Amino acid sequence: MVDDVQIVHYDSNTRTAVPKQDWMKKVIDDDPEYFKRSTNIFMGQEQTFKDNIEVLKQRFNQTGGVHIYQVMYGCEWDDEKNEVNGYRQYGYDGEDFISLDLKTETWIAPKQQAFITKQKWDNNKARTAYLKDYHTRICPKWLKKYVNYGRRSLMRKDLPSVSLLQKTPSSPVTCHATGFYPDRVDLFWRKDGEELHEDVDKGEILPNHDGTFQMSVDLNISSIAPEDWKKYDCVFQMSDVKDDIITKLDKSVIRTNWVPPSGFPAGAVIGVVVGLLLLLLCIAGLFMWRKKTNGFSRANISESADSNSDSSQSQLSGKTGGGE
């Protein structure tokens, strides 16, 4: 991922690293062995992940069930301050397991079950020195290369379309922004020019299928008098973009699927009548069939279902050898 955009993909079904952005093809032009080399690294990591799942199940005295082992590592580069920060952390079943402190060059183990791994990795000074070099020198070098390749795409500014949505007249009004890029944005309601923190519910920034993002923030209007609606507006702000997108709280622009009730519709009455007639016909036909065949016979049915349901990794166990 670069700036929350996926650039390379690998999974255990394809067993091949593939580019996910058009501009990544430039990498192949300059380095034809890039994806072959990446595939070999990922295949090795895949086996390491499987081995580590078994190690962690033993550490936590687990014999079955579905479990998740995660590794997240990378670097952040601030091109304005020219600062670089690296990180490497491991998780198990959604919780922190162990992480690297690059400043002290030691491992932090918040779980008792990670202490064996901490001791092993703290004693492996050569590996820790390599990881520090990777996160502070090698990783930023590649990050800068990726940014250079995808500059036109990664450095673009896509402004969103902003809409006001509402389920019913008494529901909260949702300010929804979609199609923006990058995700360094803010979306909020304000009253008389002041940002609101009460009676609002801000959602997370979510990805769209096309690589852009979307975000919503709800405003509870139950205590807002109709004459005060004009005091409220929704504001979309994007980093490094001077002008905000401001949308006034106005009933005339709110989009909704709600249809006011207007008595029991004639169409529904006709539908019920037709349904009853069909039901009577079915009952009559069923009665005649039962009479002709002298009762039901149990069906003989057999059912079946198919159930398909970087190369610095090392063994989590205290044992020596390959893997993580």
Q: What is the pLDDT of residues 58-117, one digit of tens each?
A: 999 999 899 999 999 999 998 888 899 999 999 999 999 999 999 999 999 999 999 999
Q: What is the pLDDT of residues 8-34, one digit of tens each?
A: 999 999 999 999 999 998 888 999 999
Number of compact structural domains in the chain: 2
Domain boundary, last residue among 238, 255, 272: 255
Cβ–Cβ contacts within 10 Å for residue 76, how many?
A: 13
Domain boundary, last residue among 255, 270, 299: 255
Residues 169 and 245 in one domain: yes
> Beta strand pairing status for 200-202 and 213-219?
antiparallel
CATH code assigned at 206: 2.60.40.10
173 or 79: which leads in pLDDT: 173
Quick one: three-class SS letters along the chain? CECCECCEECCCCCCCCEECCHHHHHHHHHCCCHHHHHHHHHHHHHHHHHHHHHHHHHHCCCCCCCCCEEEEEEEEEECCCCEEEEEEEEEECCEEEEEEECCCCEEECCCHHHHHHHHHHHHCHHHHHHHHHHHHHHHHHHHHHHHHHCHHHHCCCECCEEEEECCCCCCCEEEEEEEEECCCEEEEEEECCEECCCCEEECCCEECCCCCEEEEEEECCCCCCHHHHHHEEEEEEECCCCCCEEEECCHHHEECCCCCCCCCCHHHHHHHHHHHHHHHHHHHHHHHHHHHHCCCCCCCCCCCCCCCCCCCCCCCCCCCCCCC
Residues 96 and 205 in one domain: no
Residues 238 and 170 in one domain: yes
Q: Has residue 274 got a pLDDT over 90?
A: no
At residue 272 the predicted structure's pLDDT band, cuts being 50, 70 and 90, is very low
Joined together, the tokens standing for residue 254 give 């709110």
Joined together, the tokens standing for residue 260 give 């006011």
Residues 74 and 186 in one domain: no
Residues 106 and 223 in one domain: no
Residues 150 and 229 in one domain: no
Model-level pTM greater than 0.75? no
Domain that holds residue 30: 8-154
Residues 137 and 219 in one domain: no
